Amino acid sequence: MTDVRQAFFFASVVLLVFLAFSIPTIEPGSPTFVITIISGVMLLVTLVGSATLIYVDWDPFEKLLSDRD
């Protein structure tokens, strides 16, 4: 399960870097700027959430998977 959390973390970092590179080409106040900000916030939430889950090592499916054995 840690692999999935790390994949979310890595994907969020990569997409935030791409988004940061695109910011200089976007006009402030344009619709594209608003979408960029919304996308950035969503990616930051995913990044913080996955980092938190990795840090606390919480596995929500641990009990379900252990019952199958």
Q: What is the DSSP letter of 28?
A: T
Per-residue pLDDT of the chain (69 residues; tens, 9 = 90+): 567 888 889 999 999 999 999 999 999 999 999 999 999 999 999 999 989 988 988 777 777 777 665
Distance CA(56)–CA(48), nearest Å, equals 12
Distance CA(61)–CA(2), nearest Å, equals 11
User: What is residue 65's predicted lDDT score, i.e. its pLDDT?
Assistant: 73
User: What is residue 64's predicted lDDT score, i.e. its pLDDT?
Assistant: 74
User: What is residue 66's predicted lDDT score, i.e. its pLDDT?
Assistant: 74
User: What is residue 1's predicted lDDT score, i.e. its pLDDT?
Assistant: 55
User: What is residue 63's predicted lDDT score, i.e. its pLDDT?
Assistant: 74
